[in-house]
Amino acid sequence: MLKNGRQTSPGSVTENAPQTFTGNRALMLDEPLIFEIAGPKTTGVDLMDVPQVETRLGGLERNREIGLPGLAEPEVVRHYTRLSRMNYAIDMGIFPLGSCTMKHNPRLNEKLARLPGFADIHPLQPAQSVQGALELIDELATWLKKLCGMPEVSMSPKAGAHGELCGMLAIRAAHEARGEARKVVLVPESAHGTNPATAAFCGYEVDAIPATPEGRVDLAALKAKLGPDVAGVMITNPNTCGLFEPELAEISEAVHQAGGYVYCDGANFNAIVGKVRPGDLGIDAMHINLHKTFSTPHGGGGPGSGPVVFSEALAPYAPLPFVRKAGDMLELVEEEQARTGSHSDSFGRMVAFHGQMGMFVRALSYMKSHGADGLRQVAEDAVLNANYILRRLEGELTAPFAASGPCMHEALFSDEWLEDTGITTLDLAKAMIDEGYHPMTMYFPLVVHGAMLIEPTETESKAGLDRFIETILALAGAAKAGDVERFKEAPFYAPLRRLDETAAARKPILTWTEPDLAEAAE
């Protein structure tokens, strides 16, 4: 039915189920926009008349209506509470997004992040008043360097792509220090999509390296493209096909002999933490998503954190600021004239302040809770869970790289098994919503047609995985049996029915405008 111009889901898809008059279904309410609840001409508070006083705004005072809806406190609370019930979250069930590790965030981490002295400090406080925070940052940095086998780390990048930028700027600075102006960065097809974007943002030309039939970097093709114009390679390991790159050490050696550097995308570090030290593979720079590997909250636009570890060759070019010991105190080195030691040729600053303190607290809490042995088990269990899904589903779904051996942290399937059914990967994803599951990553990586990428992480139990697997198997059976309508019309039970995703992407409506009353009356 239509309500407020939007198509809502029916109360049931059974023949005898009644339709509701309100658009609501039990406790799942048809929630209007907050502007539709109360327009900007109403107010939820009473403001006293106050005399005009001089302000410090320098003539920038607001001179027109603010344009926000006026609601009483209960209305605001109810609105956002009802919206929150429409969200899927890791606290509700498995979040099987491949290439985007979404695992449980222990509540202990949240408790520690809210401790006074961590939650309420300000980045402009004097260093002597935040010694505990600086000590925590320094200890976290030590953990990251040991886990990666790298001598230096920059803590300031805010997330993965920001970390990529940090690493590539260090590589560019290293070449410039040698008087070189190299123009090309090699990026394998199995790398994350942000890798070529980052290289281009840094002013490099991107040259793609094909994948082998086994889903890994074509070493011969990479070596053939090495030359005096190549600044380096950006490689993802484990890669976006969920596979480890066994020839990475040889790749690194070849790139180094050609005078280039190796950047590794560490978004999938969760699969190898405690098992493989990237520094031992010849990597020169790698970002680490604290909000993936070390459980800090992920999604919703932040807050992320993407520290970057550096090899000895790139350590002098790492950005400011950084923490160092100064006698009995710790200090945050922020000024360019204070560059010394490991940051002697720093390319400068990336951010105004040092990093994401709340993320640092959560990540260190996670590390110390697990210890080195526990972190190793994290990787082992994550890989075990992904391989369990791969082997349980490969009989019904098409797994293009299953024959080449075990996967790492994620299981990858193509849409070949859906051929001649009239059903697409997108249709399957919509049907999963009706079954109470968030869809896996779809249509990525691009090297696999109609890709379905599933990452269970280590925090899912076998019982939970079995429920998920049985659901996928049941949907696969329905698709092969010709139940096309079930998929093409899905989702039936979501707050809203299927949207026109093409129009939503090409013609997004991002702001609310008050409807024309005359047009509404017509």
Whole-number pLDDT of residue 501 = 84
> Domain limits at 470?
375-506
Whole-number pLDDT of residue 9 = 47
Q: Look at residue 88 and tell me if it is in a domain.
A: no
Interval 186-239: pLDDT, tens: 999 988 889 999 999 999 999 999 999 999 999 999 999 999 999 999 999 999
Whole-number pLDDT of residue 193 = 85
Whole-number pLDDT of residue 84 = 87
Shared-domain flag, residues 292 and 358: yes
Number of domains in the chain: 2
Q: Look at residue 7 and tell me if it is in a domain.
A: no
Shared-domain flag, residues 183 and 292: yes
Shared-domain flag, residues 304 and 383: no
Shared-domain flag, residues 252 and 293: yes
Whole-number pLDDT of residue 395 = 95
Q: Look at residue 37 and tell me if it is in a domain.
A: no
Q: Look at residue 83 and tell me if it is in a domain.
A: no
d(CA 396, CA 327): 64
Q: Look at residue 390 and give its three-state secondary structure.
A: helix
229: domain CATH number?
A: 3.40.640.10
d(CA 319, CA 353): 12
pLDDT under 50 in the chain at which residues? 1-15, 517-518, 520-521
Q: Look at residue 19 and tell me if it is in a domain.
A: no
Shared-domain flag, residues 344 and 388: no
Whole-number pLDDT of residue 381 = 98
428: domain CATH number?
A: 3.90.1150.10
**CA-CA distances (angstroms) from residue 307 to 121, 142, 341?**
21, 12, 20
User: Helical H runs in 284-405?
Assistant: 290-293, 357-393
- What's the token pair of residue 117? 């002295």
Shared-domain flag, residues 315 and 283: yes
Shared-domain flag, residues 347 and 389: no
Distance of CA 424 to the CA centre of its chain: 25
DSSP 3-state percent helix, strand, coil across the chain (nearest 5): 35, 10, 50
Shared-domain flag, residues 390 and 285: no
Residue entry with tokens 């269970």:
456
Final residue in a domain of this structure, among 364, 383, 405 = 364
Shared-domain flag, residues 431 and 390: yes
d(CA 240, CA 191): 6
Whole-number pLDDT of residue 298 = 76
Whole-number pLDDT of residue 46 = 63
Q: Look at residue 454 and give its three-state secondary structure.
A: strand
- Rounded to 5 degrees, φ, ψ at 147 are -65, -30
Q: Look at residue 482 and tell me if it is in a domain.
A: yes
- Taking the CA of residue 380 as centre, how many other CA atoms within 13 Å lie in the half-sphere pointing to its CB? 8
Whole-number pLDDT of residue 499 = 83
Shared-domain flag, residues 194 and 217: yes
Whole-number pLDDT of residue 267 = 93
Whole-number pLDDT of residue 493 = 87
Whole-number pLDDT of residue 2 = 38
Whole-number pLDDT of residue 266 = 94
Whole-number pLDDT of residue 30 = 79
Whole-number pLDDT of residue 336 = 60
Centre a 10 Å sphere on the Cβ of residue 425 and count the other Cβ atoms it contains: 19
For 205, the enclosing helix (H) or strand (E) is strand 205-209
